[in-house]
Structure 1
Amino acid sequence: MNKMIEVRSINKAFVKRKTREVVTAVNDISFEVNRGEVLGLLGPNGAGKTSTIKMICGLLQPDTGSIQINGLDIENNRLKALKHISAVLEGNRNLYWRLTVKENLEYFAGNRGKSRKEVKADVDKLIGQFGLKEKENELVNALSRGMQQKLAIAVALLADTEVILLDEPTLGLDVEISYELREILKKIVKDEHRTIIISSHDMPVVQELCDRTVIINKGTVIVDEKIENLLKFFETRAYSITLGERLTDFQKDTLRSKFPMSTYHDKSHETIVAVNLQQSEDIYDLFDIFKEERTIVESIDRTTIDFEQVFMRIVKGETGYELV
């Protein structure tokens, strides 16, 4: 598979204005995005993710390291490299609020050297695809946030670039619009086979759309793996155990001490324990807790785990997964 984006050992530091303290935002980050791949670029607030995104878009220059888009180095071939990428940045900053929906699409297509006549069919198609037909002649500043976000993504698609970067595409949207936008993005991923980078805190979006994830924390890459592999890894260590009686106070203390991510729920004559094991062999230590008081184990079930749980465990370091 051809590499569409190559990020090589990039670093970025900033100087605080008041204290003059040097803060390292990005520390030797490297990863690749293959042609046609959908990558989730993730990280908690302050992890260095936003700085990395801005460097890929050419809005920030790395202190050291390099970024190539379709084989072109951003530093040495900036304009040619950036012709291959379009971005939807958080806050709808790629829209003109005093232009209508249709005028925005035509204007930004013109910036890419395309005439209004040339893009008419594509504009009409995107307006229909994103459910903007009734709003096509309204000013952007009169639209809801959800409509603005849909238009911003339509503008990025109209550029017809090989790479699209979506920064928080569902941020601040209500449940209905977020779901609708997610369905539109799924269809785009399926039908257009573009290279897409999604940066989001909306983990269902990442789980449904992305092939692979790069997770950044404290300025460095801590995970570079397929979503499917991460879900399988953590699912094999997540269990729900039904006990025929309540845990003693001593057992509860031991459980919290040895398995801090575990929870238990007492019912009238039983307890349900939910636990995520760091290592498969940890199950023997878990059963020693039950064995000590001869607690009856009624059933053991492997539980379903979603990507949000996976992400939180990785970022908090509460995992037996071998990080990069």
Structure 2
Amino acid sequence: MEPIIEVQNLKKSYKKRRSKEYVHAVSDVSFKVNRGEILGLLGPNGAGKTTTIKMICGLLIPDSGTIRIKGIDNKEKRLKALRHISSVLEGNRNLYWRLTVKENLEYFAGNRGMSRKDVSEQIEDLLTKFNLKDKENELVNRLSRGMQQKLAIAVAMLAESEVILLDEPTLGLDVETGYEVREILKAIVRDYNRTIIISSHDMDVIQDICERTVIINQGKVLTDDRVENLLKLFEVRAYTITLGDPLSSQQQQLLLQKFPQHDYQQDAYQSSLNIELAKSEGIYDLFDVLQLNNTSVEAIDRKTINFEQIFMKIVKGEKQDAMVQSS
């Protein structure tokens, strides 16, 4: 698949105020963004993610390394490279709040050298597809946050750039509007042949719409893989088992040896066991322990892992452990 953005060995440091000490925000970041995909760019606070985003957008100049957008170096030929990328920053900072919805679209089209006549049909199309037609004459500062976010994305679409970079596109939205924005982003790739880079702390959004994710921490790339591969890699057999009898001290000792991470709880009414099995064969070891005293099992409930849990495991350095267990 053809890459439309290539990030190679990016580094960026900041000098602390009133100090000679430097903070290495980005130490060595490399990844590619393929044409026509939705890529999730993730990282905890202070990981270097925002700095990386700003360098891709041309808002910061890297100390070293290169960023190529459609093969163009965005440091050597900045304006030419940045014609191919639009950004929607958190807080809807790319809108004029004292203009109406339609006036915003016309204004930003004019900034790109397009006349009102040339873009009138395109604006009508965007207003309809983004469900903004009935708000076209409403001032932006009177719109809901969700409406503002949809307008900000529509403005980015109007630029006709091949890549759209979105920073926290669903932050602060209600559930219904959040799902609507997700569907809009999918449609942008499917119907308009655009490429999207999305930065978000909403892991449900990443799991739902992203094909691939790059996770950054401490200024370095921790993982670069398809979401489905990461879900498979961290797929654990997690169970909650309700027991009809309490476990004996011998059984508890055996569980501790074979399953160090288990959680056994007992009260006056029932006993329960929360356990994760790295491999499916582990269920036989578990039942061997329960069979020692013919412990009855009243219920077995299997849990599923979500992408938020995967993200936390990767940040904590558990990816290598998962790879070893799955091999």
Report if TM-score (shorter chain) is over 0.5.
yes
2:151 corresponds to 1:121: no
Which piece of structure 1 moves more, 52-61 or 190-199?
A: 190-199
Instruction: State the partner residue of 1:273.
Output: 274
How many residues get paired? 319
CA contact (8 A) 1:242 1:297 kept: no
Q: Which runs of 5+ in 2 are unaligned?
A: none
How big is the alpha-carbon RMSD for the aligned residues of Structure 1 and Structure 2? 2.9
Pairwise CA distance, 1:7: 0.3
Instruction: State the partner residue of 1:168.
Output: 168
CA contact (8 A) 1:241 1:297 kept: no
Question: CA 1:82/1:289 → structure 2, altered by over 3 Å: closer, same or farther?
Answer: farther
2:186 corresponds to 1:186: yes
For the residues of structure 1 that align with 2:59 and 2:10, how far apart are their CA atoms?
A: 14
C-alpha distance after superposition, 1:60-115 (max 9, x if no partner) = 01000000000000111111100000010111111111211111111111122211
CA contact (8 A) 1:182 1:205 kept: yes
TM-score (ref. length: structure 2): 0.87
Instruction: State the partner residue of 1:97.
Output: 97
Greater than 6 Å deviation, 4+ residue runs: none
Question: CA 1:148/1:253 → structure 2, altered by over 3 Å: closer, same or farther?
Answer: farther
After superposition, residues 210-249 of structure 1 pair within 5 angstroms as: 210-235=210-235, 237-242=236-241, 244=243, 245-247=245-247
AA at the equivalent of 2:226 = K
Question: CA 1:289/1:103 → structure 2, altered by over 3 Å: closer, same or farther?
Answer: farther
Question: CA 1:308/1:103 → structure 2, altered by over 3 Å: closer, same or farther?
Answer: same
AA at the equivalent of 2:69 = I
AA at the equivalent of 1:321 = A
- The DSSP-based 3-state class of the residue aligned with 1:33 is strand
After superposition, residues 128-139 of structure 1 pair within 5 angstroms as: 128-139=128-139
**% identical equivalent positions:** 58
CA contact (8 A) 2:54 2:60 kept: yes
For the residues of structure 2 that align with 1:256 and 1:47, how far apart are their CA atoms?
A: 36
CA contact (8 A) 2:259 2:275 kept: no
Pairwise CA distance, 1:135: 1.7
- The DSSP-based 3-state class of the residue aligned with 2:110 is helix
CA contact (8 A) 2:112 2:159 kept: yes
Instruction: State the partner residue of 2:62.
Output: 62
CA contact (8 A) 1:87 1:166 kept: yes
